[in-house]
Structure 1
């Protein structure tokens, strides 16, 4: 990694604690997985209001059809359990998939694949992560880099770490001659969405990973940052 540009971001101060950004090392693997899994867990407790309202209509339907408040109460318990499952299961499946694919060997998946992976370190602990890889089939005339797995430990959020990690990816892309940085995030990840939009990313589409995601109305939003140098 060219030291000439990474050094600008290497050490950052915050009111809470100092931190610095560096490239991933194999010894970071366990810590990186911890940050990644905790980040996904913090998202998995949420559902969109539309999904919640749809499911809470079940008890009302039970009362109207059967006239039994006992059955309605039982259906409420069922709905609560279903909400818990709907909120967690897709994220658990996503994490499991990542742990068996790109996150299983980060050096091989990122550093040896024309991409990169960085960690934010505070007090000797990894507290933030981000990776990037070239897009295999970009639009004609474009050279695109995709951002992956931006995550910061809950206790270290609000210190600007995520923004610095995104800036490093943008600077890396600019230095490697990419025309765009792209990524996918969901509408449930409100903090991440707000961060990307504030930094100049724009929405360029949306899609669903599968029928389940469509059922719970949780699309993946495609964002693009066009580099000024391009």
Structure 2
């Protein structure tokens, strides 16, 4: 990794950090849409609609148009789900990063800065709500054009070092079933999947959109 510096967040980073988060989350819309289409329930519903309209209308065009409309509605639902999550995060912890991550005990927010002084990656941590003995890694994001340079790995290591220095035995994080690249990264860094669960959103449950909990125990930390 060349010409990249990891430093603590500054107030002037606010807008670019929000941009990185929004772009990063929006990238998961296509894979989430495909995930839903692969679900047996979705395929069964689409097939029933197609066959019912085919039998009743004796026309091939009407079922095709109906399926196209349903697919468009499903994608719109996925976009709305992600937009809702993004807006919630922008209203909460990302609304005042300094207050949330820099003024609270055992919390911090870092940015990866390029040689032009612009943030191209982010990561944060704070005490985990469900595992108070651990810190939780949050808001890991790297601009697409800077991926493959080891930035995400160094951001993960930054959180691990910070947590270890403060006496925490482990770091936990949460990611989704569609974030396969993130899962590979975490597993490469020594994280172990400890739990799989559905978010409270009923649409997510119907679509089998599961979340994964990962944990990095420092005695098992593979620093490579």
Relative to the length of structure 1, the TM-score reads 0.86
Q: Who is 2:66 aligned against? A: 75
Q: Who is 1:187 aligned against? A: 177
Secondary structure (helix, strand or coil) at the match of 1:47 reads helix
Residue 120 of structure 1: which of 103, 109, 112 is its match? 112
Residue 28 of structure 1: which of 10, 13, 26 is its match? 13
Structure 1 residues 50 and 186: CA distance shift in structure 2, 3 A: closer
**Which structure 2 residues correspond to residues 130-141 of structure 1 after superposition, within 5 A?**
130-136=123-129, 138=131
Structure 1 residues 138 and 60: CA distance shift in structure 2, 3 A: closer
Count how many residue pairs are aligned between Structure 1 and Structure 2. 212
- Whether the 8 Å contact between 2:49 and 2:67 is mirrored in structure 1 is no
Secondary structure (helix, strand or coil) at the match of 1:131 reads strand
Secondary structure (helix, strand or coil) at the match of 2:157 reads helix
Secondary structure (helix, strand or coil) at the match of 1:46 reads helix
Structure 1 residues 147 and 59: CA distance shift in structure 2, 3 A: closer
Q: Who is 1:4 aligned against? A: none
**CA offsets per residue over residues 61-83 of structure 1, 9 Å max, x none?**
23422423232112122122123
- Whether the 8 Å contact between 1:48 and 1:188 is mirrored in structure 2 is no
Structure 1 residues 29 and 39: CA distance shift in structure 2, 3 A: same
Q: Who is 1:55 aligned against? A: 42
What displacement does 1:212 show? 1.4
- Whether the 8 Å contact between 1:184 and 1:220 is mirrored in structure 2 is yes
What displacement does 1:89 show? 1.7
- Whether the 8 Å contact between 1:48 and 1:218 is mirrored in structure 2 is no
Structure 1 residues 157 and 229: CA distance shift in structure 2, 3 A: closer
Structure 1 residues 61 and 174: CA distance shift in structure 2, 3 A: same
Q: Who is 1:86 aligned against? A: 77
Q: Who is 1:167 aligned against? A: 157
Name structure 2 gaps, 5 residues minimum.
none
Name structure 1 gaps, 5 residues minimum.
1-11
Which whole-Å CA distance do the structure 2 matches of 1:135 and 1:38 have between them? 25
Root-mean-square deviation (CA), in Å?
A: 1.9
